[in-house]
Amino acid sequence: MQRRVEEEGVAGRRCGGIQLLSEAALASGDMWSADEIAELCCLHYRTRLPKQGKPDPSREWTSLAAVVKVESLGSPGTPQVTKEVVAMGTGTKCIGQNKMRKTGDVLNDSHAEIVAKRSFQRYLLHQMWLAASHQQCSIFIPGTETGKWKLKPNVIFVFFSSHTPCGDASIIPMSEPVSQLCKPATGAGAVGQLAEYRSNHDHLGPEDERKSEKMAGDYKIKRMKTDNGYFSIITEDLAVQQGSVKREDDTNPESCEGSVERQTANKETTLGRPKVADVYRTGAKCVPGELSDARIPGLGYHCVGLLRVKPGRGDRTCSMSCSDKLARWNVLGCQGALLMHFLQYPLYLSAIIVGKCPYNQEVMRRAIIERTLFQGPVRKMLISGNSHFQNMALWSVEKRCQHISCLPAGFVTQEVKLLQSDLQFEHSHRAIQEAQTNSKTKLVPSSAAISWSAVPEQPLDVTSDGFRQGTTKKMIGSHQSRSKICKVELFHAFQKLVMSISQEDLPDTLRMKTLETYWDYKEAAVNYQEAWKVLRSQALMGWVKNGKEYLHFT
């Protein structure tokens, strides 16, 4: 969290007479590791969450995400750091546009990362209530403006995800050592690579899923020739819209073996220099009206750096990919517009940790921090369909969010720490697949999503298809059908917080204002809305926004 380093100094700050580690020192990761955070999250899932909502490991899998509070309690000389899971989410589903409701009582996006973030907002609302009630156990302390609060300097938050976020962060180069480019991929090697491919093929629509199924029975890797030379690809099933690409004779000995290792930043291999063979696919679709994927074989299948929406079952969704949302949070913070009324600074994540899965450091950085910005002549060349330029643009990344200008005070592009753990989530697609190697049962994503927040009342919430699990058609619209993290429930928790504070102690944006709807309160958070406007106009153009009619509830 760069924004307050200069305020805190290098050595740290004093809180209650004790000198604490500075926020910058905590965020450096010297007092915690990626594996420690991942292990804590997996242990919390295993021991603190009941069986309800968890997948049936004989046939189902899910994704896990969580927010961990890291707090220093000792002095710099004898540091003591505590780590606590404060929010958790599981899930892989989204509802289509036709199932969205104008009453704010359905969860549109139930991917684990989004469920965890909304669970985290529920935790923050409770912590803000503790602060406003003058209880010392809150993570917030008074700011310099009336009604404003800021995070204690000895507290940071770390985000964990069992899998790379869907969308741009999942378009990861496959690679194999040059010395292995010798024979067709068959048998166990091919099956192993296919398992890697599928574990990263996040939340596919029916069309892509059919292609994935076909691939299992006809799997090879072949050499392809383009105007720019040779590259290796997965065969026909992934070679969609081949265009002018020419296939070499199948008897060519320069085929490659199927064992594919994921390529991480600056990682050396003892088998020779890694050769980029292809990219892992993402099921997320390019936003309407913007550039689209070329879908040519190999590296050219996807166009990277683009905004994407999550796929739905037939009915298209309006939910942006998790990569896009994480990029947004990295500038606007995780607190959202409502809580920004009470915060002097946005609340940023200090680190994002991904569990054991296909992963690439440079790709994560591109998706979350940098993003390719296609503007001016660059954008015109891409739109013109120049495939040679598109392939060059795939890996030459310009800064997108890092050079945003005119952000309101306090908002920055956070230099979030990006890490990977070697620990594998027990109910991930890959883990379940490995445990079911001799089973012929088709694995499917769990239909349930679990939300957990570190709050005293009803911390656990299990949903399916956007409503609380067990909701019947007749119950839809009732209070009993709502998730605790749906828009209207979080809005009511926010209103309850506002009502508990006297008028003279409210921030300026809420004092003596006639605000009624969810939309009214969000728009009244002027600094947040200005930051979002700047971000949308300079970096995240094409972001799919829901119509106002979906936000005018009370």
From the list 397, 400, 422, the residue with the least C-alpha distance to 540 is 400
CB under 8 Å to 94, separation ≥6 — which residues? Answer: 108, 109, 110, 111, 203, 310, 311, 312, 317, 319
Please state the φ and ψ torsions of residue 502, each to the nearest 5 degrees. Answer: -65, 155
**CA angle, residues 356, 357, 361, in degrees to nearest 5:** 90
The C-alpha atoms of residue 17 and residue 394 are separated, in whole angstroms, by 53
Q: What is the DSSP letter of 103?
A: T
Q: Does residue 170 sit in helix, strand or coil?
A: helix
CB under 8 Å to 30, separation ≥6 — which residues? Answer: none
The C-alpha atoms of residue 133 and residue 314 are separated, in whole angstroms, by 48
The C-alpha atoms of residue 270 and residue 282 are separated, in whole angstroms, by 29
Place of tokens 């070679």: 239
Please state the φ and ψ torsions of residue 110, each to the nearest 5 degrees. Answer: -115, 30
From the list 165, 223, 218, the residue with the least C-alpha distance to 194 is 218
Structure tokens at 259: 């064992």
By annotation, the residues acting in catalysis are 113
Q: How many residues are listed for the chain in this entry?
A: 554
Q: Which amino acid is at 460?
A: L
CB 480 within 8 A of CB 471: yes
Distances in Å between the alpha carbon of 309 and those of 110, 232, 325, 344, 441? 13, 28, 10, 32, 30
